Chains A and B, each alone.
Chain A
Amino acid sequence: MRTQERLPRRRFLQVAAATGTAAATVGCGTDVSPWRTLTRAEGDTLAALCDQIIPPDQDAGASEAGVVDFLDRQLSGRYKRHRRLYREGIEAVNRIADGSFARLEPARQLELIQRVEAGKESKESAAFFALLVTHTMQGYYGMPRHGGNRNYASWRMIGVPVRPLRGRRPENEVRG
């Protein structure tokens, strides 16, 4: 049986910094990103975009339901292949918004993305938005284990029982 060897503390911090797990303690002040893939500004832009895709009303909107968490996680995983499209798409949206999409008024945000969606800005930004709609739906309506649908917000909204059925129920009886 191998004995566990504990890394000396300095070595642990070096390793942690290299793998990004200690990212929150690296850097200074407002540059600190709460995300593992996205910068803070990218996260803010995505939150604003997603909240147009699934807006808050009497039920949680996309960002409150953790959709940006889902996106951030998948961009390090299965959706690594989409990172460039996301980075460039977010940049394009902020550029069209003259600096910050997140700081626009909601009505102006909606106008802007409708133009983007219709391809009136560029083919790439239209492709980015289409993909973002798909991913936002996944993050909002999919299983919480992937980072989104916090506390099953969307399932409660549409009326899906939150826990999977287990065991027998009277309905399991069969017709005679």
Chain B
Amino acid sequence: MSLPAVDAVVIGAGAGGGIVAKELAVAGLKVVLLERGKWHNAWDCLKDDLKNQRTNPLGNSFGPDDDRNPRVVVDSNGRQRIVEPSGPGYSNNAACVGGGTFSYGAMAWRFLPKDFRMRSTYGTPAGSTLDDWPISYEELEPRYTKAEWEIGVSGDNRQNPFFGPQSKPLPMPPLIPTKEETILHAGAQKLGLHPFPIPMLRNTIPYNGRGACMRCRWCVGFACEVDAKCGTQNTVIPTALATGNCELRTGCMVKEIQVDGRGHATGIAYYDEHDHLREQPANLVVVAGSAVETARLLLNSKSRLFPNGIGNRYDWVGRNLQGHTYTGAYGIFDEETYDDLGPGASIAICDYNHGNPGLAGGAMLANEFIRTPIQFTGILPPGMPKWGKAHKDYMRSFYRRMITVMGPTQEIPHFESRVTVDPRVLDYWGIPVARLSGPRHPHTLEIANVMSEKAEAWLKASGAVRTWQRKASQGTSGGQHQAGTCRMGVDPKASVVNKYGQVHEADNVFIADGSLHVTNGGFNPVLTIMALAYHVSDYLVREWRGTRFRS
């Protein structure tokens, strides 16, 4: 039942796990990289608007499968319901090699310097756990650069005056502007704002042995047909395997991290692709299952020394669950704005990330990925009926004349927004499932609603003849940008890991995903997750050369 020991086990072959596996393998460690999902590739690109990771009435496309992986979601009235991955409120991310990086829209944002010191900048709003990160933008900067060059990012960050200093320019230029981008650019300049092309983890020229984006309209939620979208599955993971030091095992569900009597991890127990329970001994365990699953795994790894789960002596594991609160506005134009040139999202402003009077933070604002027709059926101006002749007329008249501007408002962390485990609801393998509960902080909603106004103003300045806002609503946080559940910190009583992602209580257990984030920026978080993975890996490699993490 027990497999031959390896130096390191990495749990989750996604944005963080793929990078850690490669860095360790290149440094000479023997690594087992475990992934619950399958290894999909460009051949699995279905372009099915009813079955993908973004719109999934007929199921999701890249996991996890609905039959085996329920969660419990608690609404604001305290009512609990069991949800499947394709159901509302689940907070799903693709479960496959590459994780979310296989099917994301691929926005590649560096957080701003102030995003790492939110408490120093704004103070802590009452009732929140807003705090500074134990690392600064400057410390993380080289890792952002490494991610941009190794995974592959295109754009022109010099056009954004709000970005922090960047040690190298991006390796690839941005795509040629679309009609929407030209329209919005003019509007932004009229308002004195500073528009720039969205940095993307996307090839715009041949790079890293793969071709350039084909500008189709099937990006966010889909696999890339031409493999131009950059993820860990087509960059660092193949590199890791090529070293000969890394073994990737798919279809594997980790049950728990095993520890000895002194709190030192000895390895993990997991169910292999045939559902046989295996033990994989290792000197080092790195958890990168994304904020919900990583917290779930730690909470389920109970022992005499850790009766409430590894790293959870002070009840901070699973706390401060964050995502982003998306708000914005829609604008209808007299002229056609649609040119069928993907991916759609192309232009952004950072003028409202910080410095908003009376608000702790803000959001980046950008245009949206191309909406599929079925997505468009739900984007209705106030008073528009949801069906009937009027709705059909609306679809016919306005599908090609509408621009959406949205932004991910940086959430104010809340201690009660959390992941716990439900002992009565078990998944297919008998493991207690994650339970998501808790509110959004009221100040988050305030900020988000101001962002809607800014989005609407931008659309108006760009010539929209009719606009309406999408406002914030209360509800459980998380979502695809899930973060914060095992936050970094200096104080072991108010955090789960130290500044290197090392669990305070278990010196050979590390975390390398969005769980680490103290706050989650006003941006899609994946590039920051990647940068942190390089940051954690650097520490792991240096420490391994010393103690080899042996007890």
Q: List chain A positions with a Cβ less than 8 A from chain B.
A: 52-55, 57, 59, 74, 77-78, 110, 133-134, 136-138, 141-143, 145-146, 154-155, 157-161, 164-169, 171-176
A to B contact number (C-beta, < 8 Å): 110
Among the stretches B45-53, B72-80, B237-245, B442-450, the one at the interface with A is B45-53
B373 with A155: CB separation less than 8 A:
yes
Known A-B contacts A173-B176, A174-B205; the reply to A161 vs B59 at CB < 8 A is no
A174 with B374: CB separation less than 8 A:
no
Chain A residues within an 8 Å CB radius of B8: none
B389 with A169: CB separation less than 8 A:
no
Chain B residues within an 8 Å CB radius of A154: 373, 395
Known: A57-B389, A143-B47. 4 other contacts (CB 8 A): A53-B387, A145-B48, A174-B176, A174-B204
A52 with B388: CB separation less than 8 A:
yes
A137 with B176: CB separation less than 8 A:
no
Q: List chain B positions with a Cβ less than 8 A from chain A.
A: 47-50, 57-59, 154, 156, 172-177, 204-205, 212-218, 225, 338, 340-342, 372-374, 376-377, 386-389, 391-392, 395-396, 399-400
Known A-B contacts A136-B387, A158-B373, A164-B218; the reply to A143 vs B49 at CB < 8 A is yes
Q: Cα distance A168–B377 when bound, in Å? A: 30
Q: List 27 A-B contacts (CB under 8 A).
A: A53-B388, A54-B387, A57-B389, A59-B396, A77-B58, A78-B57, A78-B59, A110-B388, A133-B386, A137-B377, A141-B373, A142-B49, A154-B373, A154-B395, A155-B373, A157-B396, A159-B399, A161-B340, A164-B47, A165-B340, A172-B212, A172-B213, A172-B214, A174-B154, A174-B172, A175-B175, A175-B176
Known A-B contacts A54-B392, A55-B388, A174-B175; the reply to A142 vs B59 at CB < 8 A is no
Chain A residues within an 8 Å CB radius of B204: 174
Q: Name A159's closest neighbour in chain B (CB-CB).
A: B400
User: Residue A141 contacts which of B176, B338, B374, B400 (CB distance < 8 angstroms)?
Assistant: B374
Chain A residues within an 8 Å CB radius of B373: 141-142, 154-155, 158, 160
Q: Name A173's closest neighbour in chain B (CB-CB).
A: B176
Chain A residues within an 8 Å CB radius of B205: 174
Q: Which of B50, B154, B395 has the most CB of A within 10 A?
A: B50
Nearest first, the 10 A-B pairs at minimum CB distance are A158-B399, A141-B373, A53-B387, A142-B50, A137-B377, A174-B173, A141-B374, A165-B216, A159-B400, A174-B204
User: Residue B374 contacts which of A59, A137, A173 (CB distance < 8 angstroms)?
Assistant: A137
Smallest distance from the beta carbon of B108 to chain A beta carbons, Å? 16
A138 with B338: CB separation less than 8 A:
no
Q: Name A141's closest neighbour in chain B (CB-CB).
A: B373
Q: Cα distance A146–B388 when bound, in Å? A: 22
Smallest distance from the beta carbon of B441 to chain A beta carbons, Å? 32
Chain B residues within an 8 Å CB radius of A138: 50, 57-58, 374
Q: Which of A141, A154, A155, A168 has the most CB of B within 10 A?
A: A141
Chain A residues within an 8 Å CB radius of B216: 164-165
Q: Cα distance A59–B395 when bound, in Å? A: 12
Q: Which of A74, A143, A167 has the most CB of B within 10 A?
A: A143
Smallest distance from the beta carbon of B326 to chain A beta carbons, Å? 21
Chain A residues within an 8 Å CB radius of B341: 171
Chain A residues within an 8 Å CB radius of B57: 78, 134, 138
Chain A residues within an 8 Å CB radius of B58: 74, 77-78, 138, 146
Q: Cα distance A169–B340 when bound, in Å? A: 12
Q: Cα distance A76–B389 when bound, in Å? A: 29
B399 with A165: CB separation less than 8 A:
no
Chain A residues within an 8 Å CB radius of B386: 133
Smallest distance from the beta carbon of B443 to chain A beta carbons, Å? 34
Chain B residues within an 8 Å CB radius of A176: 173
Smallest distance from the beta carbon of A176 to chain B beta carbons, Å? 8
A160 with B174: CB separation less than 8 A:
no
Q: Name B392's closest neighbour in chain A (CB-CB).
A: A54
Q: Name A161's closest neighbour in chain B (CB-CB).
A: B340
Q: Cα distance A96–B213 when bound, in Å? A: 55
Q: Cα distance A24–B172 when bound, in Å? A: 59
A57 with B392: CB separation less than 8 A:
yes
Q: Name B218's closest neighbour in chain A (CB-CB).
A: A164
Q: Cα distance A98–B392 when bound, in Å? A: 29
Smallest distance from the beta carbon of A150 to chain B beta carbons, Å? 14
Q: Cα distance A17–B154 when bound, in Å? A: 58
Smallest distance from the beta carbon of B152 to chain A beta carbons, Å? 14
A157 with B175: CB separation less than 8 A:
no
Smallest distance from the beta carbon of A114 to chain B beta carbons, Å? 9
A171 with B176: CB separation less than 8 A:
yes
Q: Cα distance A54–B377 when bound, in Å? A: 12
Smallest distance from the beta carbon of A146 to chain B beta carbons, Å? 6
B388 with A160: CB separation less than 8 A:
no
Chain A residues within an 8 Å CB radius of B154: 174
Q: Cα distance A174–B49 when bound, in Å? A: 28
Smallest distance from the beta carbon of A60 to chain B beta carbons, Å? 10
A165 with B214: CB separation less than 8 A:
yes
Q: Name B197's closest neighbour in chain A (CB-CB).
A: A175
Q: Name A154's closest neighbour in chain B (CB-CB).
A: B373
Q: Name A167's closest neighbour in chain B (CB-CB).
A: B214
Q: Cα distance A172–B377 when bound, in Å? A: 29
Smallest distance from the beta carbon of A112 to chain B beta carbons, Å? 14
Smallest distance from the beta carbon of A102 to chain B beta carbons, Å? 18
A158 with B176: CB separation less than 8 A:
no
Chain A residues within an 8 Å CB radius of B391: 54
Known A-B contacts A59-B396, A158-B400, A164-B47; the reply to A171 vs B215 at CB < 8 A is yes
Chain B residues within an 8 Å CB radius of A171: 176, 215, 341
User: Residue A160 contacts which of B173, B176, B389, B399 (CB distance < 8 angstroms)?
Assistant: B399
Q: Which of B214, B216, B373, B391 has the most CB of A within 10 A?
A: B373
Q: Name A132's closest neighbour in chain B (CB-CB).
A: B387
Chain B residues within an 8 Å CB radius of A54: 387-388, 391-392
Q: Cα distance A74–B50 when bound, in Å? A: 12
B395 with A158: CB separation less than 8 A:
yes
